[in-house]
Amino acid sequence: LPTERCIKEACELDLRPGVLDKFLYVNAERLFFSPRKPPH
């Protein structure tokens, strides 16, 4: 799925201020830059 499409469609959502930021940036930061927890 192209990144451009994801961003375009996310920006078209009717979200409260701050929600899009959390959805795109905070989740991505947590996914890519947080320490990984070993599976149990």
- Tell me what pLDDT residue 24 has: 83
Reading the block at residue 40, the tokens are 């149990």
Comparison of pLDDT for 24 and 12, the residue scoring more:
12
Q: pLDDT of 15-32, one tens digit each?
A: 998 998 888 888 888 888
Residue 22 backbone dihedrals phi, psi, to 5 degrees:
-65, -45
Please, how many CA atoms are within 13 Å of residue 18, restricted to the half-sphere of its CB? 0
H runs (alpha helix) in 1-40: 3-11, 19-21, 27-33
Q: Mean pLDDT for the chain?
A: 86
The pTM assigned to this predicted structure is: 0.53
- Tell me what pLDDT residue 38 has: 76
- Tell me what pLDDT residue 9 has: 92
